[in-house]
Structure 1
Amino acid sequence: MTHSSGSDDAILYSVVVPVYGNAGSVAAVVERLEKVATHLTGRLEVVFVVDGSPDRSLDVLQQVLPTAGIDSQLVAHSRNFGSFAAIRTGMGVARGRYIGVMAADLQEPPELMIDFFAALSAGTADVVVGRREARADPALNSLMSRTFWGMYRRTINPAIPPGGVDVFGCTREVADALLAMREAHSSLVGLLYWVGYRRLEVPYERVERTEGKSAWTLRKRVRYLLDSVFSFTDIPISVLSTVGVLGALVTLTVGVVVLVSYLTGRIDEVGYTPLMLVMLFSTFVLLSGLGVVGSYVWRAYENSKQRPLSVSASHETFDARG
C-alpha cells in the first residue's frame, strides 16, 4: 500500500524507516518528519518498511499515512528479515535523489535529516553519518554499546565513529552501489564504509527511548560483529595461518630435540624416537597445510561475494577539439 501525490520526478528527498515493534512511536515519527519537510527546498517522502513487526505498527501506519502531510510509501515484509534487509527494501523503492535512513524509535532526532540533506544537496559530501556525542541510555545499554562499537572499530574499521552509526544519509549513487552488493549475513555499516565516497559526520545527542523495547539484544550484537568480521576482514584466516606457522615451528623444534637426544644416547627407549618423529612430522604437515588451505579458502570466499573490484564516484570525458 502506498500513498503519494504528484510525479515521482518532483520528489527530491526520501527517508527510509525500518519498523519493528514501534507501534507507539511511528505516528510521532510521521509528525516530526512533516515538520522536517517544511525546512527542505524540495519534496520529501518517507518510506516505512514494516519488517514483520509483531505489534500494530502496520495498522497504525495504514491509518496515519493516508492523511499525512508528506508523500509516503508503506512496505510490509512477509516476515522479519532484519533491519539491514528492511533498509535495502526501502532504498530500492525510494524515489528521492538524496536518501536518509533512521530508526523508528526516535532516539536519533529526525531533524538530523535537515543537516544531512543540506550537505548532500550542496555537493559537499556523498555520505553523511550521525556522530553520537552523548547518549541518554541506561548505564548497562550504554556500556554494551560502547564495548560493541569499540570492538567493531578495532577489528573492522577504525574510521567508524566511536558510538557507531545508527543514522545516515547518502546520494542515490551510493544507495545504488549498496544495493548492487546482494550479500547475506553482512554489515550495512561495513558496506557503507567499504564503498568509500566523500563522508561527513554530523554530531548529535541520542535521547532516551520512550516507547517500546529495543530489539538490539546481546545475541544480535555478537552475531552482527561476527558477520562483520567474516565479511570485511581476514582475521579468522590470519589467526589460523599464524597458529599453523607457529605450531609447525614448535613441532619442528621438538622433532630436532628428540632426534638429537636419540643420536646422543639420551633416549634409549626402543621405538620411542621413530614414533615421536612420525607423529611430529604428521603434525607439522597438518598445521602447515591448514595455513595454506586457509589462504585459498579466504580468496575463494572473497570471490564468491561478487563485490565490484572498485567503485567509481565520478566519470568525466573531455573533448580536446573544444
Structure 2
Amino acid sequence: MPKLSVIVPCYYNEGNIPVTTRELVANEANFPPEVSFEYVFVNDGSGDDTLAALQSAQVMYPGRIRIVDLAGNVGSYNAIVAGMAHATGDCLAVITADMQDPPELMVQMYAHWQKGFKLVIGNRQHREETGLGQTMAKTFHWLMKNLALSNIPDGGFDFVFFDRQVADEVLKLHERNSNVFYLMIWLGFPYVNIPYTRRKREIGKSRWTLSKKIKLLIDSLMAFSFVPIRAISVLGLGLGAIALLYGLYVVALKIASPDEPAGWTTLMVVLLIVSAFQMVALGVIGEYVWRGLDAARKRPLYVVREVLEPNKEAQQQQWRR
C-alpha cells in the first residue's frame, strides 16, 4: 500500500492553513483507494499564529498531519529539506501553503510515479500574476536555463512529486546555499514535465521579498554554474588584449612624437576600468570563497524545536480504510 507524504513549508501562513488543509484532504478522493497520506507541515519560524493554526488542523484531521516546528527562520528550501527528513512516505510531493499550485495535479503526478518515473515536475507555463514579479521570475529561470542547467523546463517550478530514493539522495548531499529543486534535476533521473497555470495568491501577503529573490539567483548560479568565474577570466583576457594594444600604440606614439605629453585622461580611464574589474572579480571570487567557508563549518541547515506527531491510532484506522 503506497504512502504519499506531502511536504508544505509554512512561513506566515496563518490564514492559509485552514483552506490548504481542507483542499489537500479533499483531494485524497481523487487518488486510488489504496493510497495512504501524511502531510508534513514545516513551520519555518513564523512570527504569527501559523503553529496554532497547524495544531488546530491536526486536531480536525487526526492521523494525517505531522508538524515540524523549526527553532528559527531558515528559508523555504531548508524547510523543505527538514520536511523530507521527517517524511515517511514511499513517494513525496512539495506544494506551497498558499494554494497557488493546484493539488489535483498530484493525481497525474502519482500516475507517472507508478509508471516508474522517480521525478515529476509541475511546470509553471502561465501565471495569473502580473507585473514586476512575473518579469523577474521569467528572467531568473531564463538565466538558470542558459547559464547553469540547460535541462530544466522553461518557466520554472517549485511543485514537484518524487520518489523516496530522490529524497534520500538529496539529503545525502547536505548542500548549503543551494536550490533543492535544481538538485533533484542535477541528480540525473529522467523526469516528466506537466504544465499548469499558477494561480494568483488570494489569502495573505507573500514574504518572498526582493532580497530573497536576489539571494536565490546568486545561490543558484553559484551552486550550478561556473559562468561567473569563467566570465572573469574572459573579461580579464579581453582587458589584457586591449591593454597590450594600447601599450603598443603608446610606444609607437612616443617614438613618432617624442615631445607628446602623457594623456592624463587616458591614464585615469584605464586605471578606473582596471580597478573596477578588480573589484568585480574580487566580489565574485569572494562569493565562492564564502560558500566554501560556510560548507566547511558544517553548521546544521535547520534546528527542530519540536515535532508534533499525528495520532497513531487514528492514522492506523485511516490506513485500514
| TM-score (structure 2 length as normaliser) | 0.77
Deviation at 1:300, TM superposition (A): 12
Q: Partner of 1:30 in structure 2?
A: 21
Q: Partner of 1:171 in structure 2?
A: 163
Q: Partner of 2:237 in structure 1?
A: 245
Deviation at 1:42, TM superposition (A): 1.9
Residues 264-295 of structure 1 show CA distances to partners (whole Å, capped at 9, x for unaligned) of 4422479x7xxx9xxx9xx99xx99x99xx99
Segment drifting more, 155-164 vs 212-221: 155-164
Change (3 A) 1:302 1:234: farther
Do residues 221 (structure 1) and 213 (structure 2) align? yes
Pairing of 1:63-78 with structure 2 (within 5 A)? 63-68=56-61, 71-78=64-71
Q: Partner of 1:98 in structure 2?
A: 91
State the structure with more CA Rg: 1
1:82, 1:235 → 2: CA distance? 25
Aligned residue identity for 2:44: D
Segment drifting more, 60-69 vs 191-200: 60-69
Partner SS, residue 66 of structure 1: helix
Q: Partner of 1:136 in structure 2?
A: 128
Given the alignment, which residue of 102, 105, 115 partners 1:112?
105
Pairing of 1:219-298 with structure 2 (within 5 A)? 219-262=211-254, 264-268=255-259
Give structure 1 stretches of 5+ with no counterpart.
1-9, 307-322
1:186, 1:58 → 2: CA distance? 26
Deviation at 1:158, TM superposition (A): 3.5
Pairing of 1:167-206 with structure 2 (within 5 A)? 167-206=159-198
RMSD: 3.2
Larger relative contact order (Cα-Cα within 8 Å, sequence gap ≥ 6): 2
Segment drifting more, 130-139 vs 104-113: 130-139
Count of aligned pairs: 282
Do residues 49 (structure 1) and 42 (structure 2) align? yes
Deviation at 1:146, TM superposition (A): 2.4
Partner SS, residue 110 of structure 1: coil
Contact kept? 2:125, 2:154, Cα under 8 Å: no
Contact kept? 1:127, 1:171, Cα under 8 Å: yes
Aligned residue identity for 1:136: E
1:110, 1:159 → 2: CA distance? 25
Structure 1 segments of 4 or more deviating over 6 A? 297-306
Deviation at 1:177, TM superposition (A): 1.3
1:235, 1:251 → 2: CA distance? 24
Aligned residue identity for 1:227: D
Change (3 A) 1:305 1:120: farther
Contact kept? 2:222, 2:288, Cα under 8 Å: no
Q: Partner of 2:8 in structure 1?
A: 17
2:170, 2:289 → 1: CA distance? 22
